[in-house]
């Protein structure tokens, strides 16, 4: 395997050797974040006030004010990202993380962003969705030369419009985005009361193809990814979105994968209040429980968290709530293994029959290749969740403090409010007149027995 040190050293050397000391001294600090945990919102220490957002499993980039200009410093570099506990990935990102830190500014701010390239190849930053001078658009070849390894370029423009944006390279885009180069951008309205919400979560959708046992994404994969992530994290590595009951909650999602994602919230209805283009007029908003986010799009959804509980929030493409899986593994459901299993076991010691009743792996503790997440995983208060990938939980609780994002644990259901086994009389099933009586065993054949694996 590649360890963090050897993976990072090659590119870091290029950077260190080529950035001159004088250049570094005049640059604003480039803070680095090494933790994959969700960081507390960054209240603006200076400049215009705004309501900061919370980046799911991410953080916001601090800035310095210089002559009324907000100066940020992004360092494009190789990083090691923990996709979920038990699995790390060799990615490219910014300031120690992939995705990079969220940049928050206020409508009308003049923004200056220094971009230092510590990658082994040239890069650029495209400020996706922004209205800015053409030469600041960050498209290599078209509007600027690429930033060579070891060099620092500066971008400067006024954040004209409030809204939800992203940033990503527009240089060797396919490789650099497949390696995790991206970040979130929020331009807050000049008036903090405008569009104000109590909790404002942001994250990007991204996908990687990392072979079990390896660490670096296969950048040439086009559609058959095996890790579907929120901010380069896969469930159970994604933090819950903790909200106070009756909070107005906004979730802003940007899609930088190669396919669309219908994100779906349980227990509430929401409205799509914003796109990349700006805010949706209230009269044009549709009530939704699922909204499709196409490739390269941003959506802001809003809802009142009026139902306490632990509510699923996930992409509704069911393969996208799975981790690494064999997409060409044949279906084994209903296949009788008796006799054959013993023969196979003679040849392959350690073989167990799997999949003959379905694919659920709950309770299964079997050794896996290194650096791999189980296909579906995550434990809840009632057992295995059988989920992975683009899945998390919105935790609605009463009586939280305004800035309290701490995981409150599992929801304590009021007595009698949880589905439970029926132990009373079963009413007879209605049958068509003259139909033969049903065989009791038929239903049993497809019922899972809870213990999916068999030791032969």
Partner 1 sequence: MTSLYKLVGGVSLLALLGGCASLSGDGGFGAVASVSEQRTGAPASVAGRLPRNEDDARALAAVIGKKLEQPLSADDAVQVALLNNRGLQATYWSLGVAEADLVQAGRVQNPVLDFKRSHGGGEVGIERTLTFNLVGLITAPMASRIEGRRFEQTKLLVSNEALKVAADTRRAWVDAVAAAQIADYAKQVEASAQASAELSERMRKAGNWSALDMAREQAYHAQTVADVTHTQKAAVAAREKLTRLLGLSGEQAAYRLPDHLPDLPAAPRELANVEQAAVDERLDIQAAKLDTEQTASTLGLTRTTRFINVLDLGAVRNTDGPTATRGYELTLEIPLFDWGSARVARAEATYMQSVNQLAQAAVQARSEARASYADYRASYDLARHYRDRVLPLRKQISEQTLLRYNGMLMSVFELLADAREQATAVSGYIGALRDYWIAQANLEAAQGGRLSTNKGVQP
Residues that bind partner 1 (CB under 8 A): 212-213, 324-326, 328-337, 339-340, 343-344, 346-348, 350-352, 354-355, 359, 361, 366-369, 372, 374-375
- Minimum Å gap between C-beta 4 and partner 1 is 23
Q: Please identify, using beta-carbon distances, which residue of 351 and 410 lies nearer to partner 1.
A: 351
Q: Please identify, using beta-carbon distances, which residue of 213 and 381 lies nearer to partner 1.
A: 213
- Minimum Å gap between C-beta 130 and partner 1 is 41
Count the neighbouring beta carbons within 10 Å of the beta carbon of residue 236.
Answer: 22
Burial class (CB in 10 A: 0-12, 13-18, 19+), 87: buried
Q: What does the alpha-carbon distance between residue 395 and residue 424 come to, in Å, rounded to a whole number?
A: 33
Count the neighbouring beta carbons within 10 Å of the beta carbon of residue 26.
Answer: 8
Q: What does the alpha-carbon distance between residue 302 and residue 271 come to, in Å, rounded to a whole number?
A: 5
Beta strand 69-84 pairing with 278-279: unpaired
Q: Please identify, using beta-carbon distances, which residue of 267 and 384 lies nearer to partner 1.
A: 384
Q: Give which of 297, 298, 290, 295 is closest to 317, Cα–Cα.
A: 290
Q: Please identify, using beta-carbon distances, which residue of 330 and 434 lies nearer to partner 1.
A: 330
- Minimum Å gap between C-beta 209 and partner 1 is 13
Cα 21 to its chain centre, rounded Å, is: 37
CA dihedral 308, 309, 314, 318 (to 10 degrees): -140
Task: Write the CB contacts of 144 (distance below 8 Å, at least 6 apart in sequence).
Answer: 124, 135, 138, 153
Q: Give which of 246, 334, 373, 252 is closest to 301, Cα–Cα.
A: 252
Q: Please identify, using beta-carbon distances, which residue of 95 and 372 lies nearer to partner 1.
A: 372
- Minimum Å gap between C-beta 452 and partner 1 is 11
Given CA atoms 282, 285, 289, 294 in this order, what sign does their dihedral have? negative
- Minimum Å gap between C-beta 356 and partner 1 is 9
Q: Please identify, using beta-carbon distances, which residue of 88 and 116 lies nearer to partner 1.
A: 88
- Minimum Å gap between C-beta 366 and partner 1 is 4
Q: Please identify, using beta-carbon distances, which residue of 169 and 374 lies nearer to partner 1.
A: 374
- Minimum Å gap between C-beta 325 and partner 1 is 6
Q: Give which of 237, 249, 377 is closest to 307, Cα–Cα.
A: 249
Q: Please identify, using beta-carbon distances, which residue of 58 and 217 lies nearer to partner 1.
A: 217
Output the DSSP codes for 414-435: PTT-S-----SPPPPPP--TTP
- Minimum Å gap between C-beta 346 and partner 1 is 7
Backbone φ, ψ for residue 76 (5° rounding): -80, 125
- Minimum Å gap between C-beta 98 and partner 1 is 24
Q: Please identify, using beta-carbon distances, which residue of 28 and 355 lies nearer to partner 1.
A: 355
Q: Please identify, using beta-carbon distances, which residue of 265 and 385 lies nearer to partner 1.
A: 385
Q: Please identify, using beta-carbon distances, which residue of 66 and 454 lies nearer to partner 1.
A: 454
Residue with tokens 């434990």: 379
Instruction: Please compute, for residue 12, the number of CA atoms within 13 A of its CA located in the half-sphere on the CB side.
Output: 10
Output the DSSP codes for 186-242: EEE-SSTTTT--SEEEEEEEEEE---TT--S--TT-SS--SEEEETTB-BTSSPPEE
Count the neighbouring beta carbons within 10 Å of the beta carbon of residue 287.
Answer: 9
* 400 contacts 244 by C-beta, under 8 angstroms: yes
- Minimum Å gap between C-beta 224 and partner 1 is 13
Beta strand 383-387 pairing with 163-168: unpaired
Backbone φ, ψ for residue 365 (5° rounding): -115, 85
- Minimum Å gap between C-beta 238 and partner 1 is 20
Q: Please identify, using beta-carbon distances, which residue of 67 and 336 lies nearer to partner 1.
A: 336
Q: What does the alpha-carbon distance between residue 190 and residue 252 come to, in Å, rounded to a whole number?
A: 19
- Minimum Å gap between C-beta 83 and partner 1 is 15
Length of the chain: 456
């Amino acid at each position: 395997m590649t360890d963090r040190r050897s993976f990072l050293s090659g590119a870091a050397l290029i950077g260190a050797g080529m950035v001159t000391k004088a250049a570094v001294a005049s640059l604003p600090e480039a803070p680095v974040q090494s933790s994959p945990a969700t960081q507390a919102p960054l209240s603006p220490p200076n400049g215009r006030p705004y309501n900061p957002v919370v980046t799911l499993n991410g953080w916001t980039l601090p800035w310095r004010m210089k002559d009324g200009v907000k100066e940020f410093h992004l360092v494009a570099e190789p990083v090691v990202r923990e996709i979920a506990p038990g699995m790390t990935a060799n990615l490219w990102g910014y300031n120690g993380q992939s995705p990079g830190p969220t940049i928050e500014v206020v409508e009308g701010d003049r923004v200056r962003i220094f971009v230092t390239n510590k990658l082994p190849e040239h890069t650029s930053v495209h400020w996706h969705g922004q209205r800015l001078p053409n030469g600041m658009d960050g498209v290599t070849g078209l509007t600027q030369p690429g930033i060579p390894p070891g060099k620092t370029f500066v971008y400067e423009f006024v954040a004209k419009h409030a809204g939800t944006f992203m940033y990503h390279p527009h240089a060797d885009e396919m490789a650099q985005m497949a390696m995790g180069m991206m970040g979130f951008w929020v331009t807050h309205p000049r008036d903090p009361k405008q569009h104000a919400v109590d909790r404002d979560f942001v994250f990007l959708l991204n996908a990687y193809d990392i072979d079990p046992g390896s660490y670096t994404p296969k950048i040439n994969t086009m559609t058959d990814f095996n890790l579907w992530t929120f901010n380069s994290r896969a469930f159970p590595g994604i933090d819950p979105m903790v909200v106070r009951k009756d909070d107005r909650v906004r979730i802003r999602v940007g899609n930088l994968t190669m396919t669309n994602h219908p994100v779906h919230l349980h227990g509430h209805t929401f409205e799509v209040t914003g796109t990349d283009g700006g805010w949706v007029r209230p009269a044009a908003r549709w009530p939704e429980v699922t909204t499709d986010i196409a490739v390269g799009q941003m959506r802001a959804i809003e809802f009142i968290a009026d139902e306490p509980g632990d509510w699923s929030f996930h992409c509704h493409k069911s393969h996208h709530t799975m981790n690494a899986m064999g997409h060409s593994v044949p279906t084994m459901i209903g296949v009788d293994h008796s006799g054959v299993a013993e023969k196979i076991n003679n040849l392959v010691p350690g073989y167990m029959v799997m999949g003959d009743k379905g694919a659920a792996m709950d309770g299964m503790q079997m050794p896996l290749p290194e650096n791999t997440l189980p296909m579906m995983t995550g434990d809840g208060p009632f057992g295995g969740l059988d989920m992975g990938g683009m899945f998390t939980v919105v935790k609605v609780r009463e009586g939280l403090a305004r800035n309290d994002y701490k995981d409150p644990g599992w929801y304590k259901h009021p007595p009698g409010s949880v589905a439970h086994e029926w132990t009373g009389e079963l009413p007879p099933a209605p049958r068509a007149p003259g139909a033969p009586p049903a065989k009791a065993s038929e239903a049993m054949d497809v019922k899972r027995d809870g213990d999916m694996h068999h030791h032969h």
